[in-house]
C-alpha cells in the first residue's frame, strides 16, 4: 500500500511551513543541542509533524468486508484518488481517479468532499459542493458514478443528506425540509413528503437536536429498501437567538431556533413512508414533552425500534413499531436518578443500542450496574443475559456477529487511560483481548469480522496504524510514522508523563505532566493546568503528546498538566455522574486539588500557576478562578458557558435537571455570582458568531466583573464560531495572546523570584 496522506488546505499550509522551517533537520544530527522553536508559529506548525500520518483516509469496507477502499493524494498531481486494498492478496488497486472527470455538462473539474459505496461496490455516490450549516450538517450536491463505464450523473442538488438504498437501486435524500428518492432504473425523482415550511421539517433536525444528540441525518432506509423512516421536526414555537459579526454598514443577523432551559423544545414525531406506494404512517408514540433521539430498523421485517426520553433524560422507553400500521408497544424501560446516555459525543459513538440485521435481538450498553456494560435482549424486551461484567467500562461496540455469536468491543479493562479491543461470546464466555501494545487503540472493524485497522499510540510511541486479522495475526503495517521519531530526534520534544495522586477527600485522580525540555528538579517552574472537564469527556490518556502549543510552553520553561477530574468518562457511573445537578462543584474541586498537589512538588512554583480551558473548559477555568480565589494566578478563558440557563435545553437539562426542579443548582453553578472574588488575571476570548456558546455568556460575565470593580482582559473575534479563531492568522494570534499573557503574569514574575 502506498503512503500518501490526504490533506486539507489548512493542513497543507501547516505542512509547507513545517518543511520550510524544519526541512534541514536531518542535517543537524551533529549538533550537540536539539533545535528549538524560535517562535510560536513554528511550534504550531510542528503539531502536524508530531501528529504524523493517520494512515488510510476515508476507509470504507467493501465486498462485504473482504476489501477496504481509501482516499489518498496522487504524489504527482496531488489529486484525490480512491484505491482499494485486499488483505488476502495484499493487492492495492486504483478504483477512481477523477483527473480528467468534469461535472456533467460542464468543463469544471470534478471534486468531492465524501462518498458512499453501493452494496455491490459497483457504484459510488459522491457528495460535492458542500456548504456548511452547523457542526455536522450542510447543503451538498450528490452525483452517482458508475465504475464500469465511468459515467457521472447528478442525482440531487442542495440536499442536506443523501444515502444509497441498501439494494443499490435508489438514493434517498432530504431537501428543503422534504424527503425524496431517485430511482436509477427510470432516472426519476419522487417526492415523498410535501408539507415542509419554515421551521417545520421532514428528515432534518434543527440546531439543538443535531448538536446534542449527534446526528445530522434525520431518516433511515429499511434493510429491504422498501421504507424510509424519518423524524418530522416542528421548531415554530422554539425561541429565536440571533447573532452578527458586525460587518458592513448595516449589520446582518443570523437567526437560530435555540431552546434554553425551561423554553419550548422542538416537537418531533416519527413517520415511515413506503417508497413503492407513497403511503405514509405515523408511529403511535406520545412525545410527552420529551425527545426521540434514536430510531433503529430491526431484523423483524417492517418493524422499527424507537427510543424515547423524557425531558429530564432520566426515563428511557424503547418502543417496537409496526410501520404498516403505526402501532407501537413498549418493550423496555429504564429509569434512573441521573441522566441516561444514548450516545457518546467525545468517544465518537453514535449509538448505545445495536440491532443486528440477522437475528431478532438487540444489544444495549448501559451503566445500570455502576459500569457501562453490554446487555442482550430479544425483540420482546426480555433480558437474555448481561454479556460483559466487571469494574470497568465498555466504550465501543465494533461488531456483533450473529453467525459466530461473538461481540467485538473496546473497553477500559486494562486501564481508564487506555482502550483495548476484545472479543466475547454472546453468553459472556471466552473473552479474548486482541490488541497487544499498551496505549489508546482506535478500531475500524470489517463487517465480516475478519479484519480490523488498529490506530494507536502511547506516551513513548507516535501513531501506529496496523491491519490485523481477528485470528491474531498482523496482516500489514499501514503507517509507522518513522518521520515523527526522526523529527523528535532533532527537535526538542517533551513527552507526557503519567502519574496519579489522591485528593484530600480520598479520590485517586490520574494526571499527565509535560515538563520543560531542560527540566531541572532543583528549579521551580510556573505551571499551566490545561483542562476541559465536561461530563463524559476525558483529558488524560496513555497517548503520544502532539500539542504544538504545549510543546512551545515546555520549551519556554513551563510545566503543563491535565487531569481526569470527576465527571470524566471511563471510570464508572459514580465517578462520572457525581456532577449531576451540580456542574462545576466537583470538577473545580479536583482542579484545585491537582494544583495544590503539584504545588507541593519542589519543582513547581505554586505562586505562579494558571488554568486554561475552552468551551466547557472555559466555563471551568472561569468558575474555578472565581470560586476558589488565590489558587491560580491566571485564568485563560475561551468561549465559556457562564450560566447554564444560557445554554441549550437538551445539554443543560441533561446534566442540571429541569430548571424548575433545580433553581438553586443553576444559581450555584453560574460563574457571575462569584465575580467579586477575582484575584489575579483573567483573559477571555470569544467569537461574536458562536452559535453554540453564545457571546451573551461572556458579556454577562464581563458586566458582573465590572459591577464588582474587577478588571479582565477581553478579546472578541467577530467572525469565528465556537473555536473563536476563524482562519490561520487568527489561530496563531489567539495562541500568541495566550502565551504573551502567561509570560507577562506568570513567567516574568516566576523568573524574578
Query: Which string of DSSP letters, residue by residue, matches 429-495?
Result: ---EE---SSSEEEEEE-TTSSEEEEEEEETTEEEEEEEEETTS-EEEEEE--HHHHHHHHHB----
Q: Which residues contact 273 (CB under 8 A, 6 or more apart)?
A: 179, 192, 193, 227, 228, 230, 279, 280, 281
When mean pLDDT is compared across 338-347, 601-610, 677-686, the lowest value belongs to 338-347
CA distances 678 to 185, 488, 743, Å, are: 69, 40, 20
pLDDT interval class at 379 (50, 70, 90): very high
* Integer Cα distance of 45 and 342 in angstroms: 37
- pLDDT, averaged across the chain: 94
* Integer Cα distance of 244 and 249 in angstroms: 12
**Cell digits for 465?**
496504524
484 pLDDT higher than 80:
yes
Give the mean model confidence (pLDDT) for residues 12-35. 49
Calculate the CA dihedral of residues 642, 645, 647, 653 and round it to 10 degrees.
120
Give the mean model confidence (pLDDT) for residues 408-435. 98
Three-class DSSP labels, 600-669? CCCCEEEEEEEEEEECHHHHHHHHHHHHCCCCCCEEEEECCCCCHHHCCHHHHHHHHCCHHHCHHHHHHH
When mean pLDDT is compared across 130-144, 276-290, 406-420, the lowest value belongs to 130-144
pLDDT interval class at 7 (50, 70, 90): very low
User: Residue 315 forms beta bridges with which residues?
Assistant: 335
Residues 557-597: tens digit of each pLDDT: 999 999 999 999 999 999 999 999 999 999 999 999 999 99
Residues 106-151: tens digit of each pLDDT: 999 999 999 999 988 889 999 999 999 988 899 999 999 999 999 9
28 pLDDT higher than 80:
no
Q: Which residues contact 27 (CB under 8 A, 6 or more apart)?
A: none
Residues 435-467: tens digit of each pLDDT: 999 999 999 999 999 999 999 999 999 999 999
Q: Which residues belong to CATH 3.40.50.1820 in the chain?
A: 494-752
Calculate the CA dihedral of residues 34, 38, 42, 44 and round it to 10 degrees.
90
Q: Is the model more confident about 20 or about 71?
A: 71
In the chain, % of residues over pLDDT 70: 95
Which pLDDT score, from 0 to 100, does residue 18 have? 52
Which pLDDT score, from 0 to 100, does residue 11 have? 46
Which pLDDT score, from 0 to 100, does residue 6 have? 43
Are 514 and 496 in contact by the 8 Å Cβ rule? The answer is yes
Q: What burial letters (b/e) apply to 256-281, b meaning 16+ CB within 10 Å?
A: bbbbbbebebbebbbbbbbbeeeebb
CATH of domain 494-752: 3.40.50.1820
Query: Which string of DSSP letters, residue by residue, matches 554-568?
Result: HHTT-EEEEE--TT-
CA-based torsion, 162, 166, 167, 168: positive or negative: positive
323 pLDDT higher than 50:
yes
Which pLDDT score, from 0 to 100, does residue 4 have? 37
Distance of CA 729 to the CA centre of its chain: 25
17 pLDDT higher than 90:
no
Which pLDDT score, from 0 to 100, does residue 751 have? 64
As a whole number of Å, the end-to-end CA separation of the chain is 56
Give the mean model confidence (pLDDT) for residues 293-300. 98
Which pLDDT score, from 0 to 100, does residue 136 have? 84
pLDDT interval class at 24 (50, 70, 90): very low
In the chain, % of residues over pLDDT 90: 90
- CB-neighbour burial class of residue 380 (10 A; exposed 0-12, middle 13-18, buried 19+): exposed
1 pLDDT higher than 80:
no
Is 689 in a helix, a strand, or coil?
A: coil
128-140+149-282 carries CATH number 3.20.10.10: no
388 pLDDT higher than 70:
yes
Which pLDDT score, from 0 to 100, does residue 232 have? 98
Q: What burial letters (b/e) apply to 17-31, b meaning 16+ CB within 10 Å?
A: bbeebbeebeeeeee
Residues 496-532: tens digit of each pLDDT: 999 999 999 999 999 999 999 999 999 999 999 999 9
Find the helix or strand (DSSP H, E) in which 208 lies: helix 207-213
Number of helices (H), then strands (E), in the chain? 13, 43
**Cell digits for 471?**
485470528
Which pLDDT score, from 0 to 100, does residue 749 have? 80
Distance of CA 1 to the CA centre of its chain: 29
Which pLDDT score, from 0 to 100, does residue 22 have? 53
Which pLDDT score, from 0 to 100, does residue 748 have? 83
29 pLDDT higher than 90:
no
Residues 56-87: tens digit of each pLDDT: 999 999 999 999 999 998 777 778 899 999 99
Q: Which residues belong to CATH 2.140.10.30 in the chain?
A: 128-140+149-282
Question: CA angle at residue 174 from 170 to 176, to 5 degrees?
Answer: 145
Backbone phi and psi for residue 616, each to the nearest 5 degrees, phi listed first: -60, -35
Amino acid at each position: 500500500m502506498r503512503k500518501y496522506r490526504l490533506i486539507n488546505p489548512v493542513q497543507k499550509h501547516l505542512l509547507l511551513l513545517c518543511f520550510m522551517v524544519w526541512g534541514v533537520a536531518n542535517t543537524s544530527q551533529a549538533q550537540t543541542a536539539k533545535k528549538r522553536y524560535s517562535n510560536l508559529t513554528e511550534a504550531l506548525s510542528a503539531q502536524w509533524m508530531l501528529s504524523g500520518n493517520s494512515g488510510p483516509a476515508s476507509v470504507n469496507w467493501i465486498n462485504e468486508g473482504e476489501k477496504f477502499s481509501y482516499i489518498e493524494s496522487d504524489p504527482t498531481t496531488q489529486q484525490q484518488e480512491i484505491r482499494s486494498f485486499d488483505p488476502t492478496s495484499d493487492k492495492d488497486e486504483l478504483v477512481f481517479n477523477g483527473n480528467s472527470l468534469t461535472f456533467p455538462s460542464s468543463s469544471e473539474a470534478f471534486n468531492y468532499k465524501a462518498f458512499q459505496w453501493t452494496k455491490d461496490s459497483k457504484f459510488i455516490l459522491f457528495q460535492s459542493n458542500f456548504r456548511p450549516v452547523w457542526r455536522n450538517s450542510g447543503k451538498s450536491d450528490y452525483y452517482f458514478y458508475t465504475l464500469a463505464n465511468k459515467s457521472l450523473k447528478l442525482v440531487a442538488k442542495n440536499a442536506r443528506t443523501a444515502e444509497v438504498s441498501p439494494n443499490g437501486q435508489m438514493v434517498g435524500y432530504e431537501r428543503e425540509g422534504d424527503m425524496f428518492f431517485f430511482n436509477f432504473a427510470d432516472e426519476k425523482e419522487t417526492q415523498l413528503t410535501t408539507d415542509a415550511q419554515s421551521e417545520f421539517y421532514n428528515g432534518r433536525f434543527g440546531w439543538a437536536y443535531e448538536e446534542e444528540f449527534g446526528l445530522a441525518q434525520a431518516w433511515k432506509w429499511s434493510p429491504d429498501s422498501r421504507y424510509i423512516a424519518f423524524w418530522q421536526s416542528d421548531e415554530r414555537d422554539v425561541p429565536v437567538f440571533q447573532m452578527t459579526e458586525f460587518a458592513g454598514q448595516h449589520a446582518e443577523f443570523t437567526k437560530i431556533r435555540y431552546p434554553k432551559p425551561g423554553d419550548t423544545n422542538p416537537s418531533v414525531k416519527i413517520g415511515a413512508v413506503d417508497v413503492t406506494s407513497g403511503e405514509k404512517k405515523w408511529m403511535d408514540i406520545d412525545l410527552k414533552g420529551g425527545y426521540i433521539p434514536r430510531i433503529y430498523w430491526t431484523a423483524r421485517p417492517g418493524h422499527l425500534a424507537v427510543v424515547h426520553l423524557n425531558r429530564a433524560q432520566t426515563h428511557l422507553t424503547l418502543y417496537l413499531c409496526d410501520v404498516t400500521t403505526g402501532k407501537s408497544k413498549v418493550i423496555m424501560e429504564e429509569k434512573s436518578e441521573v441522566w441516561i446516555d444514548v450516545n457518546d459525543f467525545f468517544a465518537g459513538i453514535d449509538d448505545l443500542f445495536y440491532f443486528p440485521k440477522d437475528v431478532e435481538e438487540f444489544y444495549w450498553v448501559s451503566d445500570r450496574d455502576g459500569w457501562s456494560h453490554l446487555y442482550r435482549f430479544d425483540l420482546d424486551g426480555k433480558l437474555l443475559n448481561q454479556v460483559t461484567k466487571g469494574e470497568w467500562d465498555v466504550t465501543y461496540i465494533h461488531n456483533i456477529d450473529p453467525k459466530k455469536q461473538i461481540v467485538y468491543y473496546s473497553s477500559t479493562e486494562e486501564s481508564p487511560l487506555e482502550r483495548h479491543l476484545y472479543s466475547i461470546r454472546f453468553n459472556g464466555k471466552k473473552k479474548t483481548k486482541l490488541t497487544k501494545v499498551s496505549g489508546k487503540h482506535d478500531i475500524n472493524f470489517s463487517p465480516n469480522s475478519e479484519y480490523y485497522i488498529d490506530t494507536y499510540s502511547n506516551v513513548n510511541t507516535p501513531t501506529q496504524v496496523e491491519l490485523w486479522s481477528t485470528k491474531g495475526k498482523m496482516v500489514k503495517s499501514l503507517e509507522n510514522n518513522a518521520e515523527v521519531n526522526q523529527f523528535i530526534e532533532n527537535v526538542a520534544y517533551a513527552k507526557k508523563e503519567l502519574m496519579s495522586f489522591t485528593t484530600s477527600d480520598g479520590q485517586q485522580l490520574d494526571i499527565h505532566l509535560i515538563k520543560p525540555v531542560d527540566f531541572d528538579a532543583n528549579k521551580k517552574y510556573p505551571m499551566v493546568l490545561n483542562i476541559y472537564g465536561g461530563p463524559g469527556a476525558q483529558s488524560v490518556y496513555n497517548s503520544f503528546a502532539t500539542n504544538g502549543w504545549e510543546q512551545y510552553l515546555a520549551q519556554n520553561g513551563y510545566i503543563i498538566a491535565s487531569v481526569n477530574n470527576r465527571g470524566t468518562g471511563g471510570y464508572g457511573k459514580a465517578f462520572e455522574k457525581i456532577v449531576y445537578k451540580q456542574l462545576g462543584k466537583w470538577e473545580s474541586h479536583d482542579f484545585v486539588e491537582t494544583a495544590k498537589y503539584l504545588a507541593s512538588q519542589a519543582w513547581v512554583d505554586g505562586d505562579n500557576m494558571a488554568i486554561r480551558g475552552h468551551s466547557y473548559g472555559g466555563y471551568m477555568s472561569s468558575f474555578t478562578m472565581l470560586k476558589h480565589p488565590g489558587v491560580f494566578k491566571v485564568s485563560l478563558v475561551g468561549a465559556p458557558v457562564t450560566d447554564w440557563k444560557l445554554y441549550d435545553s437538551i445539554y443543560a437539562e441533561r446534566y442540571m435537571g429541569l430548571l424548575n426542579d433545580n433553581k438553586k443548582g443553576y444559581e450555584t453553578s453560574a460563574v457571575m455570582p462569584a465575580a467579586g472574588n477575582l484575584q489575579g488575571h483573567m483573559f477571555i476570548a470569544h467569537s461574536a458568531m458562536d452559535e453554540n456558546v453564545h457571546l451573551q455568556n461572556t458579556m454577562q460575565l464581563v458586566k458582573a466583573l465590572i459591577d464588582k470593580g474587577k478588571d479582565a482582559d477581553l478579546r472578541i473575534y467577530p467572525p469565528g464560531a465556537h473555536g473563536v479563531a476563524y482562519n490561520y492568522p487568527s489561530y496563531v494570534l489567539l495562541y500568541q495572546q495566550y502565551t504573551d499573557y502567561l509570560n507577562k503574569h506568570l513567567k516574568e514574575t516566576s523568573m524574578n523570584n
